[in-house]
Amino acid sequence: MKSNTAAMSDKFTFVSSQSSDHQLSTYQGRFVCRYAYGRAKETMLQGEKGQDFVAVHIEGDTCNFVLCDGVGQSYQGDFAARFLGNRLMGWLGTTREWSSSAFAAFLSEITVAASEQLKQLTPPEEVPSLLREVLEVKQRLGSQTMYICGRIELPSSRKKHGRIWMAWQGDSRLRFWKNDAEISEHFQTTMLTSERWSTLKGPIGGLPHVYQTRLEYGLPMRLQLYTDGLDDLDPIRQVLPGEQVQLLLNAPHTGGLQDDAAFLELQW
Amino acid sequence: MNYTIQASQRTPALIIYLIDISASMNMLMDDKRRIDVVYEALSLAIRQMVFRSTKGNRLTPRYRIAILAYSDDVYDLLNGIKGIDEIAAVGSLPDLTPKRFSDSAKAFRQAERILQSEIPHMQDCPAPLICHMTDGVATGDDPEPIAKRIMSMSVPDGNVLVENIFISDHMLDQPIMQPRRWKGILPETELQDEHAVKLRNMSSPLPESYREMLAEADYLLATGALMMLPGSCAELVSIGFQMSAATPVRA
């Protein structure tokens, strides 16, 4: 387990590489941030890219984060996850007043650039003709990803109230603890596999879910996000030691991960 | 026992097709020979499996398939069980050529032997599925007792599923005008044909997970529907073959 301590400026950025795994690591500043990335065993053996994506940027009292789970059955799900993840980080870094409608509009606007880039990713020539035909159909249907993103602005002794804003579509896990009590019920009914972002259509299966609340000074909170490759975490409510989170990522009981997994936990 | 295990490279689904190639399969349906309608529907189901098995540009072998064509004998068209990746590499299915009779009991017996040898190695896999397509009364032994034995075989995911596609214009008292809105054959549905009643007895209830997958493709079969389709038009035959490939897979 790696550990990074806040530098004087308290700035920290992590962006997962889809080509390699990242062991559970911890950054400690005003936020305590734990993050990790693991590819499915099948993906690793084939030397392919993972289809998940996770990124976090902390600067003093603020934190922007994104977690995406590319849809394996869409065309190049890793592309949608990476493209949307990077665009959302950019949007979170430049937007100060959030609204659901502006967010949904942004998700639709970026489909033009996404579709243009996806067009360049043609199926390889050497694959069997049936597979190539299927891949070409999928390319026309676009690349899809599920996502959770958000921004946290912490309260301080000078600024009594902070705020958290989050948006999501899909079945990745979003869990929230206030003073050690889990308050994730609000999110659970909205984590739907049928809801995604598509390079072709923008949000599909419904509009993005949005949550915003004030943060009180001095109240400890924990936010945990992970993709379904780490669903072994679902029944665990307490803070799991780093070694045990890594054990779930190594998944020795199944000879490796069955699906790609991205993990991000923020405490303050 | 709820048919929710997802087909994956490590836990592939096994589907055994039993295709009647008796002489009557030369008869026309929608201006095509029945055998050609079946060939196209089976090819489409294979294509659907390829669609559901790709990750990136790679085809992961999430499905394993055997195709047994039967007349007075049984013909193993793939020469054993083949992965969907191997089938895709070949590109097309072997030809289906109609012959004489229709001894479905022989075909079910061969499927039973395949399952007896495969099931011990499939404990973490989705429940296997037999998809039987016929257009008439079986000659030879009664297939029902063998089908019942097969339906009692199981893995932790559930009992082996048996699906029947019966190409017939006289099975239901009313034609199905809108296949996509059709609710399916229920245990109490009145059937006009004795052989259809036999095939219904040999058909498993449609698992909820399969029903949901078909709903995603806009086929609205009702809860409690059986895995039985009247092949009165090409679309219904196609739905039948798509049903066979509706094993849950990871999105």
ipTM computed for the complex: 0.83
Q: How far is CA A205 from CA A145, A192, A202, B172, in A?
A: 12, 9, 10, 36
In this prediction, residue B113 carries a pLDDT of 98
**pLDDT in the model for residue B169:** 77
pLDDT above 70 covers a percentage of chain B that reads: 100
Contact B153, B119 (CB under 8 A): yes
Domain locations along chain B: 13-244
- For residue B1, what pLDDT is reported? 65
Whether residues B88 and A128 touch (CB distance < 8 A) is answered with yes
pLDDT tens string A225-241? 999 999 999 999 999 99
Gyration radius of chain B over CA positions: 17
Residues forming a β-bridge with A264: A35, A225
- Computed on alpha carbons and rounded to an integer, the radius of gyration of chain A in Å comes to 18
Q: Across the strands, what pairs with B230?
A: B166
B127 pLDDT tier (thresholds 50, 70, 90): very high
What is d(CA A16, CA A65) in angstroms, rounded to the nearest whole number? 12
Say whether A138 and B251 touch across the interface (CB within 8 A): no
State which CATH number among 3.40.50.720, 3.40.50.11540, 3.30.1180.20, 3.40.50.410 fits the domain covering B13-244.
3.40.50.410
Q: B188 to chain A nearest CA, in Å?
A: 33
pLDDT band at A7 (very low <50, low <70, confident <90, very high): very low
The helix (run of H) or strand (run of E) holding residue A132 is helix A129-141
Q: Measured between beta carbons, which residues in chain B are less than 8 angstroms from residue A46?
A: 58
- Chain B residues interacting with chain A (CB cutoff of 8 angstroms): 8-10, 46-47, 50-52, 54-60, 88-92, 249-251
CB burial string A244-259: b at 16+ within 10 A, e below: ebbebbebeeeebbbb
Task: Over range A37-51, report the average pLDDT.
Answer: 91
Note whether B170 and B230 are within 8 A (CB): no
Residue A5 pLDDT exceeds 80: no
In 3D space, the residue among A20, A18, A38 whose CA is nearest the CA of residue A250 turns out to be A38
Helical H runs in chain B? Answer: 34-53, 84-90, 104-118, 144-152, 194-201, 208-216, 234-244
CB B52 within 8 A of CB A135: no
Task: Spell out the domains of chain A, with CATH numbers in brackets.
Answer: 2-267 (3.60.40.10)
Residue B250 has pLDDT above 80, yes or no: no
